[in-house]
Amino acid sequence: MKSYPTANPILVIDDEASILMLLERILSRNGYAVDTAANGEEGIRKIENNEYSLILTDIEMSGISGDQVLDYLRNTIKKSTPVVGMSGTPWLLDQSDFDAVLPKPYHMKELLDLVSQLTEK
């Protein structure tokens, strides 16, 4: 198994518990430290209190959306942290400020390749 070490953990934000658990398991098994948030509000709290190498966020969540998480991050001192938007409607994100968009469903190899690319120093 290839190892993709990062200095800081990756934050995964998704309101679907099964997706959150799957992404945590896949990324952890590939050598990443992973933190999770079950919604945008929790994600922003964690962003305020921690450093992350990368943030993966679902776009459409109740409450604070992935777009709002991105807006918050881009307007704080942590604005250079790469953010990947995950969406079942990626065509709506063509002109977005996300560093990358991962259309759902995606293959785990796509996810790992993208994470590796965005966390390289």
Q: Give me the domains of the chain, ranges plus CATH numbers.
A: 10-119 (3.40.50.2300)
Residues 6+ away with beta carbon under 8 Å from 62: 15, 39
Tell me: the pLDDT tens digits for 19-45?
Answer: 999 999 999 999 999 999 999 999 999
Q: What is the mean pLDDT of residues 74-98?
A: 80
The tally of CA atoms less than 13 A away on the side-chain side of residue 89 is: 5
* Residue-level pLDDT at 87: 85
CB 12 within 8 A of CB 24: yes
Q: What is the mean pLDDT of residues 41-65?
A: 94
pTM of the model: 0.89
Residue 4 has pLDDT above 90, yes or no: no
